[in-house]
Each structure stands twice: as C-alpha cells, then as structure tokens.
Amino acid sequence: MLLFRSGEHVDRWSEGRGLPTGGVLTPEQCWRLARAWFHDRLSPDWRRRTPEEATRIFGEIGLTGPFWRLG
C-alpha cells in the first residue's frame, strides 16, 4: 500500500513491473479506512475484524468489487 504523486505515477510504476493496476484510493478514503480500521487498536477489547465486518467497512468507504473481497 503505497502513496504516489498521482494516478499517472501509479500507472507508470505498475507498467514498469508488469503488474495490473490494483486498488486505487484517494488519501481521504485511506484516512477514513485507517480510522475505521485502527481507531480501537489500543483498546483492551480489540479483536480482529471478521471478513463480514471488514467488507462492511470497505463498502462504507466505497471499496467494493472483487479486489476488496476477503477470503
């Protein structure tokens, strides 16, 4: 999960490695994902997200489709 200067830089980097472009997010989307995912990580009651919970979090941020499907 890397931060690029722009989508053009993502495309050039991916092409240079022969990789298909994967999942692309805005920094704001990733910030929302980070808050939803990690806000309780230091809580004694933290537990790992279930695939269903993760899918719901992804969906709330607009990350849908096969790329974001867990398991």
Partner 1 sequence: MDPSAFDRQVRLSIYRAIVEDGRPPTAPELAGTLDVPAAGVEDAFRRLADGRAIVLAPGTPYVWMANPFSAIPTPFEVRVGDRGYFGNCIWDALGIPACLHEDAQIRTFCPDCSEPISLEVRGDMLAAPAGATIHFAVPAAHWWEDIGAT
**Residues interacting with partner 1, by CB under 8 A?**
1-7, 9-10, 12-14, 16, 19, 21-31, 33-35, 37-42, 44, 46, 48, 54, 58, 66-71
Residue placing its CB nearer to partner 1 in the complex, 19 or 52: 19
Q: How far apart are CA 33 and CA 10, in angstroms?
A: 20
The DSSP call for residue 65 is S
Residue placing its CB nearer to partner 1 in the complex, 38 or 56: 38
Residue 24: how many CA atoms within 13 Å on its side-chain side?
11
Q: Give the number of other Cβ atoms within 10 Å of residue 50's Cβ.
A: 10
Q: Provide the minimum distance between the beta carbon of 6 and partner 1 in the complex, in angstroms, as a whole number.
A: 4
